[in-house]
Structures are given as structure tokens and as C-alpha cells.
Amino acid sequence: MSGPILEARDLVKRYGSVEALRGVSFSVLEGEVFGLLGPNGAGKTTTVEILEGLRGADGGTARVCGLDPQRDSVALKHEIGGALQSTALPDKLRVGEALRLFAGFYRRHRNPGELLKRFGLEGKRHAFYGQLSGGQKQRLALAMALVNNPRILFFDEPTAGLDPQARREIYDIIEELRGEKKTIVYTTHYIEEAERLCDRVAVVDQGKVIALGTPRELKERSGNSTRIEVRLAKPAEDEALRGLEGVVDCRLFDGSHVLHSRRPPQTIVALVKYLEAQGNELASLEIAAPSLEDAFIELTGRRLRD
Amino acid sequence: MRNFLTLTGVRMRLALRNRLFIFFSLVMPLFFFFLYAGFFGKGNPRTVAYLLGPVIALTVMGSFWGLSTALVTFREQGILRRFRLAPVTSGDLLASSIAANYLLTLPTVATELVLARLVYHVQDFGNLLSVWVLVTVGTTSFASLGLVVASVANTMQETQIICQIIWFALIGLSGATLPFPSLPHVVQRIGVFLPATYLVLALQKAFLYHAAAWELLMEITALLAWAVLTFFMAAKLFRWEPEEKVTGNAKAWAAATILPFVLLGVWENHYGGVRSQSQSAKDSLRSGTRPGTSP
């Protein structure tokens, strides 16, 4: 990996009185898959659209492939590829035609036939766009993002709205691109995607980057503690649960107590004893290794899916 | 230039795969052709030649409807958004849709002329070069009008309403349905403010009196100035994203496109000869002579 291919510094964007970005900064190295993880409305798409040159920022600076996305937008478009949210192609455009059409727009481009083969769309070459399934449309969108052999790819929630099977197919494609050392900026609100696909992740919340690091580094921030999620028959005091042996943190989400423990077996024994003493009972209990979700909870006090 | 040519080809292919396009651009014009030539013109070759004016004007004017709905659909479905990420300009997209529409209108016009010859035995088509110039300028200007409509309408429903209002004004007040001299006097005074009126009359002069392009300079210049102005406005008001709502300012700019024909209409109402010329054209059907074309 060499120096940063993308740098965002203090990006600010306002929509009327709403501040969508409140000083977003990060840089992306050549050859890495960089994730922007955050809930809907966190500012991920706005960030990506500023970097692609589709929107102007109200403050801050950005450089992508050494270019200013606003000033050098035409030159930049030859260098980047992307799959944006809520885009489409004309229903009556054939798959092969779409790739050839877009290949024709660029100074350099890849062979459309090879891309179709690689993305498993060879059999759909003559199919109309309107006849494709959601997963096939998204595979075509990714193939089209690669048509100019871009230096950097932007994938904005590419798995949104797809069924699990189609989602796995997209993961395979991203992992393959990762293996080829393609630089990718990947936005998602799925923790498992960020964990599985990204080399580094910026956690975005309310228009700010609140944490940045490899998935492992972020998880370590949550103290390498095990998550114990319990539902109780009767309500219990958070404070009392926090005092149990080994517990470092306890929060209540939708009626579930989420405890973080450094010594899970001791915590569970202490919990059972405490509940017995209170005349309370366990309705359910789940134990999980530390995840990015825990890091997110720790940083924001909220769950990502809230 | 390469983007423009590629997009023109693709837009033509897409249009030909669209049943609605085929209906509005081929079936409807031919329906009008047979209605006018067979029913109103009773198959009389000279009357059919006279009626080719409104028939071809209707074919040419239909451009704006299809283009505006296509552009709004492209915007609403996020198709423009996808193009925006590629090195494609709004000018490429707009110019290619006008060019594609023009190239697809020519075969329909040619079919109408061939049918006039084969079915109604029209021998004299007047000055076909002038007809071609008028079809070219007319298609470009009405297509640009469609693109302006698409830029000021926020939804498909709004587009349809605006198109209907414009369409009925254009065909009702211009001589494209009833002959211009048969319209009530007050309607004629309004009609001279409409580009359609000049297109119909200029086509009739080309068909009936062999008027050369230079003899139709006023009509051609007005349509051309209007085409340039509306295209410029369409490019200025172009929006890639459905979320970008149109501003009141943009609507004012769009309204400014009517300027050439406001000026022409005022002039015509004071000094012009459009009304007398269209009367002579109609009268010549009875006398079979060629009256003077000067006002």
C-alpha cells in the first residue's frame, strides 16, 4: 500500500437548517477497502457524493486521486467508478448494451464481455434491464462501476434491499476485488458487512466520524469484553446488574439488558444468584464474542439498527 | 461528440422498443393523416396538399410530449443519476434526445408524403427542401420545449398536465385542427402568438406555393430563434436529481422562452399578414391559382 488516494478534511454540508456533515475527516490508502459504517441519515451518502464530485461541500476540503472533486469533476469521473443508491437504467436497455454504452464514455475501458462473464451475467447479455432480478441489477451496477477500470470504487450500500442469497453474491464480488487490491470506499449500516469486508472502518454518526480503525481495533475498544444479553421476567435495576462480578458495562435496549463482561462464567453465576434473591427469572440469555456492534453501542449509546 | 452520437443511437433504439412511442409517433400521426386527407380533404389531391401543412405540423409538434415525459421518467427513476457519475454532460443528454427524436420523426413525415402520393395521388408537393427545413427547425424547437417542460415540472403528473395545456393550445389556436381563417377573429389574434401557427402556415406555403426557404425567412428565423432559446433554457434548468426541486426563478426563466413569439405576435397583430396569407391559401383551393405571398 502507498500513500492516501483519498483525503477528506473537515467536510461540512448543510441542507437548509439541517447539518448533514459536521466536519468529516478521513483518508483512504491505495488498495484498501474502507468502510463508512453508520445508521441511516448519519451522512455516509452525502460524504460519498461529495467525494465523487456530485455535490459541493459547504466547508472542508477533499482530494480524490490527486484531484479536487468539484473543480476537476470531469477528470475525476474518468478515475472513479461507483454504484450509487437509488439509480436505475432504462427498462428497455439490454444488459450488454448498457455496458457497451458506458464503456464508450471513458478514455480507457475494460472489455464489456469479460465483465459480464466475471459478474455471472453472460447469460443475460440480451435481457432487458427491466427483466433482471434485484441481485442481477446490483451485479450489473457493480460491473458498470468497473467498466473504466477505475483507480477507486465507491459502493454506497450495495446490498440494501437484497435477499440473503444476493447479498452473499455481492460479498463474494467485493472479497474478490479486495484480493485484487482494488481501492474501495464502502458504505453500510450492516455491522457484519463492515467486519467481513473492510480493512478499516470509520464509524459515522450524526455527521461526524466518531471512531476510525481496523475492525479489530474498534472491537478492542469495547474492552475485549463478552456481550451477555438477557431478558428478564421482571424489570431489574441497571445499576444492580452493573455491580455483578466481571461486568464492565450494562445498558438497556428494547427491554433487553446488554452486559459486557470480562469474566463471563462468573458473571452468569452472579446473575443467576442475584435474580434468585430478587425473585426474578431469566426469560432468555445470549452470549456473544465482542463485535463492532458493541463498539458502536459503546461509542453512541445506541444500537446501529435503532 | 462521441458521447452525443452514442447516446443518440441508444435513445433511438430505446424509443423504437417503446410501444407508447410507436403509438404517438407513428400510429397517431398516420391516423391524423387519414382523418385529414380522407375525411376532411375528401381525397382531393390539392386539398390534401393543403392539409399536409397541419398534418405534418402535428407530427412535428408531437415531439415535445414524448421528450418531456421521457426526461422526467429518467430523472424520477434515478437513470440520470447513473449517467451523472460518468463523464457525460447535460448537453450530451439533451442534444442526443433531440437528435434521436428528429431522426425518428423524418421517416414518419416521409411516410405521410409517400401515402399522399400513393393513396391520394398528390402530384405536386411544392418545395420539399423548404418542407425539410421547416420539419428540422420545427422538430428541434418543439423537442426543446418538451425539455423545458421536463425541467420545470417536478413530477410526471405535473408534466402531463402542462403538456396537455400546451398541446391543446397549440393545436386548437393555430390552424392545426380547424383552418386558421375559419377560427373566430379573436382566436386568430391569440393564435399569432403561437409558434404552431407559423409552422402550419409556412408548411402550407411550401406545399401550395413552392415557397423557397428564403421566402419563409420570418417563420424559419422565429422558429430557429425559439429553438436556440428553449434549448439554452433546457440546459440551464436541467436537473439530475428528483430531490432538486424547481425554483420560482427557474419557472420565470422558462416562461422567458415565449419571448420571440410574443414579439412576433404583437407585430403580427399590428402590421402582419399571417391572417390574410392563410385566408389566401385557403381561397386558392377553390380558385386553383397561386396568390401573392406578400402581406
Tell me: the pLDDT tens digits for B276-287? 777 777 777 766
Question: What are B294's three cell numbers?
Answer: 406578400
Per-residue burial over A175-195, b if 16 or more Cβ lie within 10 Å, else e, is eebbeeebbbbbbbbbbebbb
Q: Given the C-alpha cell 477533499, which residue does it identify?
A: A62
Q: Tell me whether A93 touches chain B (CB under 8 Å).
A: yes
Q: Do A87 and B82 touch (CB under 8 A)?
A: yes
pTM of the model: 0.83
> Closest residue of B to A84, CA-based?
B82
Strand partners, A27: A7
Confidence of residue B134 (pLDDT cuts 50, 70, 90): very high
* B239 CA: distance to closest CA in chain A (Å): 12
**Which pLDDT band holds residue B293 (cuts at 50, 70, 90)?**
very low
HSE-up of A43 (CA within 13 Å, CB side)?
26
The residues near A89 (Cβ < 8 Å, ≥ 6 apart) are A98, A129, A140, B79, B82
CB contact under 8 A, B84 and A102: no
In this structure, which topology does domain A225-289 adopt according to CATH?
A: Alpha-Beta Plaits (3.30.70)
CB pair distance less than 8 Å for A104 and B84: no
Please report, as a single letter, which amino acid is at residue A191.
I
Residues 6+ apart with CB under 8 A from A303: A253, A293, A296, A297
Q: Give the fold, CATH level 3, of A4-218.
A: Rossmann fold (3.40.50)
Do you know the residue count of chain A? 306
User: How does pLDDT run across A160-200, given as a tens digit for each residue?
Assistant: 888 888 888 889 889 988 988 999 999 998 888 888 899 99
pLDDT score, position B153: 86
A243: left (phi over 0), alpha (psi -120 to 50) or beta: alpha
Q: Which of B14, B20, B82, B247 to mutate to test the interface with A (most CBs of A within 10 A)?
A: B82
Predicted pLDDT at B292: 42
| β A59-64/A4-15 pair status | antiparallel
Q: Are B84 and B168 in contact (CB under 8 A)?
A: no
pLDDT in tens, A200-229: 999 999 899 988 999 888 877 766 678 888
> Is B18 in contact with A92 (Cβ distance < 8 A)?
yes
**How many Cβ contacts (< 8 angstroms) between chains A and B?**
52
Give the model's pLDDT for residue B79: 94
Q: For residues B242 and B240, give the distance between their C-alpha atoms in angstroms, rounded to a whole number.
A: 7
Phi, psi (5° rounding) for residue A166?
-65, -35
Cell 430523472 sits on residue: B75
Task: Label residue B82 by pLDDT band (50, 70, 90).
Answer: very high
Residue in the structure block whose three cell numbers are 397517431: B28
Tell whether A106 lies on the interface with B, counting CB pairs under 8 A: yes
What is the SS3 assignment for A7?
A: strand
| CB-based contact A90 B3, cutoff 8 Å | no
pLDDT at residue B294 tops 60: no
How much is the pLDDT for A226? 83
Domain regions of chain A by residue span: 4-218, 225-289
Q: A80 pLDDT band (50/70/90 cuts)?
A: very high
Residue type, A121: L
Q: Is A210 exposed, middle or buried (0-12, 13-18, 19+ CB in 10 A)?
A: middle
Task: Indicate if the pLDDT at residue A279 is higher than 60.
Answer: yes
Q: Does A105 touch chain B (CB under 8 A)?
A: yes
**Of all helices (H) and strands (E), which one includes residue A293?**
helix A292-300
Q: Round the average pLDDT of chain B to a whole number and report it.
A: 86
Q: What is the pLDDT of residue B274?
A: 74
Span A36-54, pLDDT tens digits: 998 888 899 999 999 999 9
User: Which chain B residues have any C-beta within 8 angstroms of a chain A C-beta?
Assistant: 2-3, 6-7, 10, 13-14, 17-18, 74, 77-79, 81-82, 84-88
pLDDT for residue B245 is more than 60: yes
Rounded to whole angstroms, the Cα distance separating A76 from B196 reads 44
**Angstrom distance (rounded) from CA B130 to CA B203:** 8
3-state helix, strand and coil shares in percent for chain A, rounded to the nearest 5: 35, 30, 35
Supply B87's cell numbers. Answer: 463523464
Using pLDDT thresholds of 50, 70 and 90, give the confidence band for residue B105.
very high
- Rounded to whole angstroms, the Cα distance separating A7 from A27 reads 4
Task: Measure the CA–CA gap between A169 and A272, rounded to whole angstroms.
Answer: 43
Average pLDDT, chain A: 88
Mean pLDDT of B180-188: 82
ipTM of the complex: 0.84
Tens digits of residue pLDDT in B146-171:
999 988 888 889 889 988 898 888 88
Amino acid at the residue B230? T
CB contact under 8 A, A97 and B77: no
pLDDT digit string (tens) for A225-260? 788 888 988 888 878 888 888 888 888 887 888 888
pLDDT at residue B161, rounded to an integer? 92
Residue A5 phi, psi dihedral angles, 5° rounding: -95, -15
pLDDT over 70, % of chain A: 97
